[in-house]
C-alpha cells in the first residue's frame, strides 16, 4: 500500500526523531528535508496526541529556552506475534520507540486448518497479556506474521503450504478474539521491517532482503517504504524461474523455480536422494538439515554437489534481481552453511557472470545469519509504521 505524501512525511519525521532524540524542531527540518511549516504542523499534532513529548533544556543564555522533542514511550504499546519453526508462537511487547519490553512464547498444537491456527494465536496472545502488566486499552494494534500467502491489506491468509487450502480471515479472528485491531503480513515482509528498524536496513532507505529458509522469499524497501504488490501480497521470489521448462518440479506446479533448488527443503530432498535416505517430515526438517550440515562439515558425507548447485542458482537469481530492480543493497539471510567460503565462491561466480556490467559493482551485498527473534520484532515494526503514518 503506497503512502500519501502526508503519511510519508509523518513516517519519515518520526523515524528520524526515533534515531536522533532528543532533537529540536529546527534540527528535524535539517535532518528530514521537510519545511519548517510541515515540521511545526506534524509535531504539534503528535504532541497533542501524546505520541511526542516536549522537554525544555535548561540554559543560562538569554532568550527562549530550547525545546527538544522525544517519542513518548508510554503513550501506546504494540504487540508482534509470529509462529517460529520449532512449533511455538513468539509474542513481543514493544513501546512506541520500538524498544522491546517483554517476550512470551507459547506452544502450538498440530492442526491442519488455518482458522484453527488463528485461534491458537488468540490463546497465545491472551496468555502473554496475562503475564504482562499492560492494559489492553493501551495497546494500539497487534501485528501477526504468517509463513504463507497473505493479503496485508485485509488480513486474510490465502495459503500456507502445510495447511488445508482454505483462505481464512486470520486478522479478523485475532481482532475479535482479543478486541484489539490486528494487522497480518507475510513473515518475509516482517523480516525486512525488522532490518529496517533494527538492523542493516536502518542505514539505507533502499534495500532488498532475501531469506533462505525452508522456503525462499524476498522483500523490498524503496525510498523508506516496504513495497507490496497491488493485491497486498508479498513477492514470490522463490518462484522466479532459474531453469524454466526443463527444471525440477516445484510444489507450486511449475518447473525450474528457485525454490526447487535453493531452499532448505529442496537441499534436504536432493541430499537424501544422493545419500539414499528417506526425506524427513516437515516438522523435523530444520533439525535434520542442521544434522546433515554437521555430517558434511565433519566429512562423514559429501553433499557438495547439492550445495554448490544451490549456491550457483541463488547467484543467478540475485543477478536477475539486480538487473531488473537495481537495489542499493541486498541483505541475504540464511543458515550458517551460507557462510562457507567455498559456497560463497560458487555464489559470487554466478553473480558475476550474470549481472549486467554497469550494475555489477554498484550493489552492496551483506550476509546475515538467521534470527527467529526478528520475526516478532518485524511484526511490531509493522504496527509502528502504521501508527507513525496515521
Q: Taking 80 as the threshold, does the pLDDT of residue 226 lie above it?
A: yes
Select from 265, 334, 353 the least CA-distant residue to 306: 265
Q: What is the mean pLDDT of residues 51-64?
A: 77
Query: In sequence order, what are the residues at sequence separation of 6 or more whose Cβ sits closer than 8 angstroms to the Cβ of residue 77?
Result: 93, 94, 95, 96, 101, 134, 138, 139, 140
Q: What is the pLDDT of residue 340?
A: 62
- Report residue 375's pLDDT band, with 50, 70 and 90 as the boundaries: confident
Give the C-alpha distances (Å, rounded to integers) separating 251 from 10, 185, 214, 255, 306: 42, 22, 13, 9, 19
Higher pLDDT, 203 or 97: 97
Q: What is the CATH number of the domain that holds 51?
A: 1.10.10.10
* Cross-strand bridge partners of residue 146: 186
Distance between CA atoms of 376 and 155, rounded to whole angstroms? 16
Task: Clarify whether residues 120 and 168 are in a common domain.
Answer: yes
Q: Taking 80 as the threshold, does the pLDDT of residue 342 lie above it?
A: no
| Three-state secondary structure string covering the chain | CCCCHHHHHHHHHHHHHHHHCCEEHHHHHHHHCCCHHHHHHHHHHHHHCCCEEEEECCCCCCCCCCEEEEECCCCCEEEEEEEECCCEEEEEEEECCCCEEEEEEEECCCCCCHHHHHHHHHHHHHHHHHHCCCCHHHEEEEEEEECCEEECCCCEEEECCCCCCCCECHHHHHHHHHCCCEEEEEHHHHHHHHHHHHCHHHHCCCEEEEEECCCEEEEEEECCEEECCCCCCCCCHHHCECCCCCCCECCCCCECECHHHHCHHHHHHHHHHHHCCCCCCHHHHHHHHHHHHHHHHCCCCCCHHHHHHHHHHHHHHHHHHHHHHCCCEEEEEECHHHHCHHHHHHHHHHHHHHCCHHHHCCCEEEEEECCCHHHHHHHHHHHHHHHHHC
Q: What is the pLDDT of residue 283?
A: 79
Picking from 110-114, 227-231, 313-317, 319-323, which range would have the lowest pLDDT averaged per residue?
A: 227-231
Q: Taking 70 as the threshold, does the pLDDT of residue 86 lie above it?
A: no
- Predicted confidence (pLDDT) per residue in 259-287, tens digit: 999 999 999 999 999 999 999 988 788 88
Q: Taking 90 as the threshold, does the pLDDT of residue 4 lie above it?
A: no
Cβ-contact 150, 114 below 8 angstroms:
no
Q: What is the pLDDT of residue 320?
A: 95
Q: Taking 90 as the threshold, does the pLDDT of residue 232 lie above it?
A: no
Distance between CA atoms of 6 and 12, rounded to whole angstroms? 10
Q: What is the CATH number of the domain that holds 304?
A: 3.30.420.40
Task: Clarify whether residues 361 and 274 are in a common domain.
Answer: yes
* Cross-strand bridge partners of residue 94: 78, 100
Query: In sequence order, what are the residues at sequence separation of 6 or more whose Cβ sits closer than 8 angstroms to the Cβ of residue 45?
Result: none
Distance between CA atoms of 103 and 94, rounded to whole angstroms? 9
Q: Taking 80 as the threshold, does the pLDDT of residue 103 lie above it?
A: yes
- Chain-wide mean pLDDT for the chain? 89
Task: Clarify whether residues 159 and 270 are in a common domain.
Answer: no
Distance between CA atoms of 80 and 91, rounded to whole angstroms? 6
Q: What is the pLDDT of residue 276?
A: 94
Task: Clarify whether residues 270 and 365 are in a common domain.
Answer: yes
Length of the chain: 390
Task: Clarify whether residues 306 and 238 are in a common domain.
Answer: yes
- Predicted confidence (pLDDT) per residue in 117-148, tens digit: 999 999 999 999 999 988 888 999 999 999 88
Q: What is the pLDDT of residue 203?
A: 73
Task: Clarify whether residues 87 and 61 are in a common domain.
Answer: no
Q: What is the pLDDT of residue 205?
A: 83
Q: What is the pTM of this model?
A: 0.87
Q: What is the mean pLDDT of residues 78-84?
A: 90
Query: In sequence order, what are the residues at sequence separation of 6 or more whose Cβ sits closer than 8 angstroms to the Cβ of residue 153?
Result: 1, 231, 232
Task: Clarify whether residues 119 and 177 are in a common domain.
Answer: yes
Question: Distance of alpha carbon 331 from its chain centroid, rounded?
Answer: 12
Q: What is the mean pLDDT of residues 201-220?
A: 88
Q: What is the pLDDT of residue 133?
A: 87
Task: Clarify whether residues 167 and 129 are in a common domain.
Answer: yes
Give the residue from 71, 100, 122 where a domain finishes. Answer: 71
Query: In sequence order, what are the residues at sequence separation of 6 or more whose Cβ sits closer than 8 angstroms to the Cβ of residue 387?
Result: 51, 76, 78, 96, 140, 141
Q: What is the mean pLDDT of residues 77-105?
A: 88
Domain count, the chain: 3
- Report residue 229's pLDDT band, with 50, 70 and 90 as the boundaries: confident
Distance between CA atoms of 382 and 251, rounded to whole angstroms? 29
Higher pLDDT, 113 or 199: 113
Task: Clarify whether residues 23 and 135 are in a common domain.
Answer: no
Q: What is the pLDDT of residue 371?
A: 85
- Report residue 339's pLDDT band, with 50, 70 and 90 as the boundaries: low
Q: What is the pLDDT of residue 341?
A: 67
Distance between CA atoms of 318 and 340, rounded to whole angstroms? 18
- Report residue 352's pLDDT band, with 50, 70 and 90 as the boundaries: very high
Cβ-contact 147, 121 below 8 angstroms:
no
Give the residue from 29, 54, 71 where a domain finishes. Answer: 71
- Report residue 61's pLDDT band, with 50, 70 and 90 as the boundaries: low
C-alpha cell at 134: 499492560
Structural domain of 154: 77-195+374-389
Task: Clarify whether residues 208 and 355 are in a common domain.
Answer: yes
Q: What is the mean pLDDT of residues 166-183?
A: 96
Picking from 85-94, 137-146, 172-181, which range would have the lowest pLDDT averaged per residue?
A: 85-94
Q: What is the pLDDT of residue 318?
A: 96
Q: Is 301 exposed, middle or buried (0-12, 13-18, 19+ CB in 10 A)?
A: middle
Q: What percent of the chain has pLDDT over 70?
A: 96
Task: Clarify whether residues 216 and 340 are in a common domain.
Answer: yes
| Three-state secondary structure string covering 371-385 | CCHHHHHHHHHHHHH
Q: What is the pLDDT of residue 1?
A: 56
Q: What is the pLDDT of residue 198?
A: 83
Task: Clarify whether residues 216 and 99 are in a common domain.
Answer: no
Amino acid at each position: 500500500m503506497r503512502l500519501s505524501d502526508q503519511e510519508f512525511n509523518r513516517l519519515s519525521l518520526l523515524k528520524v526523531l526515533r534515531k536522533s532524540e532528543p532533537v529540536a524542531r529546527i534540527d528535524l527540518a535539517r535532518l528530514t528535508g521537510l519545511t519548517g511549516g510541515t515540521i511545526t504542523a506534524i509535531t504539534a499534532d503528535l504532541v497533542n496526541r501524546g505520541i511526542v513529548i516536549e522537554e525544555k533544556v535548561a540554559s543560562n543564555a538569554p532568550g527562549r529556552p530550547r525545546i527538544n522533542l522525544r517519542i513518548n514511550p508510554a503513550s501506546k504499546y504494540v504487540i508482534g506475534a509470529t509462529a517460529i519453526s520449532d512449533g511455538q508462537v513468539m509474542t513481543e511487547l514493544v513501546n512506541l520507540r520500538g524498544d522491546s519490553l517483554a517476550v512470551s512464547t507459547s506452544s502450538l498444537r498440530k492442526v491442519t486448518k488455518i482458522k484453527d491456527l488463528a485461534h491458537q494465536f488468540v490463546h497465545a496472545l491472551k496468555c502473554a497479556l496475562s503475564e504482562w502488566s499492560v492494559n489492553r486499552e493501551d495497546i494500539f494494534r497487534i501485528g501477526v506474521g504468517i509463513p504463507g500467502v497473505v493479503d496485508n491489506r485485509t488480513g486474510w491468509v490465502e495459503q500456507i503450504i502445510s495447511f488445508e487450502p482454505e483462505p481464512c480471515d486470520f486478522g479478523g479472528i485475532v481482532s475479535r478474539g482479543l478486541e484489539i485491531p490486528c494487522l497480518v503480513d507475510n513473515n518475509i515482509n516482517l523480516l525486512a521491517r525488522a532490518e529496517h528498524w533494527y538492523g542493516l536496513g536502518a542505514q539505507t532507505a533502499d534495500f532488498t532482503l532475501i531469506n533462505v529458509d525452508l522456503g525462499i522469499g524476498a522483500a523490498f524497501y524503496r525510498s523508506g517504504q516496504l513495497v507490496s504488490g497491488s493485491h497486498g501480497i508479498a513477492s514470490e521470489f522463490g518462484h522466479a524461474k532459474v531453469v524454466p521448462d526443463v527444471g525440477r518440479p516445484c510444489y507450486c506446479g511449475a518447473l525450474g523455480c528457485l525454490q526447487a533448488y535453493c531452499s532448505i527443503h529442496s537441499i534436504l530432498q536432493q541430499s537424501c536422494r544422493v545419500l539414499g535416505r528417506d526425506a524427513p517430515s516437515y516438522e523435523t526438517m530444520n533439525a535434520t538439515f542442521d544434522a546433515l550440515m554437521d555430517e558434511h562439515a565433519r566429512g562423514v558425507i559429501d553433499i557438495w554437489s547439492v550445495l554448490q548447485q544451490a549456491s550457483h542458482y541463488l547467484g543467478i537469481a540475485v543477478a536477475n534481481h539486480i538487473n531488473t530492480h537495481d537495489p542499493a543493497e541486498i541483505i541475504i539471510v540464511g543458515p550458517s552453511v551460507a557462510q562457507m567460503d567455498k559456497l560463497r565462491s560458487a555464489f559470487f561466480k554466478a553473480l558475476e557472470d550474470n549481472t549486467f556490467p554497469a550494475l555489477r559493482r554498484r550493489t552492496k551485498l551483506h550476509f546475515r545469519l538467521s534470527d527467529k527473534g526478528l520475526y516478532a520484532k518485524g511484526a511490531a515494526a509493522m504496527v509502528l509504521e502504521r501508527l507513525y503514518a496515521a
